[in-house]
Amino acid sequence: HWLAGEDGAKRVIQDRHGHIVQNVESIRPVRPGRDLVLSIDLRIQYLAYRELKAAIRDQRARAGSVVVLDVASGEVLAMVNQPAYNPNDRDQILPATYRNRAATDIFEPGSSIKPFFVAAGLASGKYDERSVIDTSPGFFKVGVKIFEDERNYGAIDIATVLAKSSNVGMAHIALTLSPLELWSTLTRLGFGQVTTSGYPGESAGLLPAYSQWRPIGIVTMSHGYGLSVTPLQLAHAYATIGAFGFARPVSFLRLETAPPGERALQERTCRELVGMLESVVAAEGTGKLAAIPGYRVSGKTGTAWKATAGGYSTDRYMAVFGGVAPASAPRLAAVVVIDEPGAGLHMGGQVAAPVFSRVIGGALRLLAVAPDRPVNTPEELPQSPALGGTRAAAPL
C-alpha cells in the first residue's frame, strides 16, 4: 500500500516491568509510508490555464486542452481544459465541463502525427537526416485518391518534409515501410493504448490492427487521419522522443526518483528526429510561432478537418501543436489542442503554436532551465512570467 509503512523488529533486553533497558540488535528496520503528492506544478498549471483560456476566447473556439509533461520523469506538470468550471459555483456547472478532455477525448491529430511516421522510417534504416525525397510534381496519387502539397517543393530532405508538412513527402516515406514496421513503432510510442497514468475513464485512442492497413490507409494515417489519440497520449509520445527513446510511465504523483523507462526507439533515431523538428519552428517552418526566445524548440504543427456524418467538415478544424524544449536537452514536452477555432485562423501553426510558446517559455523560466540558444537583441532576452503560486507540495 502506497501510504502504509512497515513495522520494524529488534531484539532487546527488558527488566521485569517490561521496560527496555538495552537494544541488542536490529532485525528489520522500520519503513515509513510514502507521501502522496500531486505532480502538478501550480505555477505551470496556472500559466497553462491562463494562456489556454485567452486563446479559446480570442479564437472563439469550442474547446481546448494543454498537457505539459516532465520528460525526465513522466510526471504531469500541467493539464488544463476549456471550457472549465468553478467548483464553488455549482449553479453554473454543466455536465460536459466535468470531463477531463485531455485524457478522455480523442481526435484525429493531423500532421502532428508525422514525426512518428518519420521515426519509423529512421528506425528502419532506410532513411537518415541526409535522405532526399522527390515530391515532384506536388501531388501523389494512390488508387483514385490524390494527395497534394501547397506547392511543388521538388527534391527535399526529411527535415524540410517536416518543416513544410509535405503530404507528398510523407506518402513516399510511409509507403516504403511495411504495415508491421509502422504499427510497431506507433505501438511502442503508446498509441492505441491507455497510458500508465491510471486516470479513470482515460481513452486508448484508436490504432487499427496492421492487418487491415492498405496503401491508401497508410498514406491517410501518415497525414493524421484514420487513427485517433488523446492530448495526453500525444504528449507522452513527444516526451518519449524528447527522452531520446525512453518511454517513461505517465504519473500524476510526484516521484522521488525518475523511473528508467523502457527503450521504445534508439537514441540516434530520436536525436536525428529532434534535430529535424527544429526546422518546423524555424523562420520558414509551419510552427515558427512556437519559437521561444533563448531556447531551441522542436515540434510539429497539425491541422485536421473534423469528422462528420458521411465524411469530413470543410470548415471545422482541430488545431494542434506538440513539441519539446529545450531541443539540446529536452526538459518539457507539451501538446496544445484547440477545437474549432472560429475567429478566422484555423491552422495549428497559427492558433496552437503561440500557446505552446507562451506556456513552455514561461515554464522553462519558472524551472530555471538554462537557455540553449543565443539571443541577438534585448527584446529576445527571456522574461520571467509574472505569476505567483508554487508547485503542489502538500500531501493529499
Active site residues: 111
**Contact, 22 vs 370, CB < 8 A?**
no
Crossing angle between the packed helical segments 267-277 and 231-242, to the nearest 10 degrees:
110
- Mapping DSSP onto H, E and C, the string for the chain reads CCCCCECCEEEEEECCCCCEEEEEEEEECCECCCCCCECCEHHHHHHHHHHHHHHHHHCCCCEEEEEEEECCCCEEEEEEEECCCCCCCHHHCCHHHHCCHHHHCCECCHHHHHHHHHHHHHHHCCCCCCCEEECCCCEEEECCEEEECCCCCCEEEHHHHHHCCCHHHHHHHHHCCCHHHHHHHHHHCCCCCCCCCCCCCCCCCECCCHHHCCHHHHHHHHCCCCCEECHHHHHHHHHHHHCCCEECCCECECCCCCCCCEECCCHHHHHHHHHHHHHHHCCCCCCHHHCECCECCEEEEEEEEEEECCEEEEEEEEEEEEEEECCCCCCEEEEEEEECCCCCCCCHHHHCHHHHHHHHHHHHHHCCCCCCCCCCCHHHCCCCCCCCCCECCCCC
Any residues with CB less than 8 A from the CB of 392 and at least 6 apart, and which?
37, 38, 39, 40, 41, 42, 254
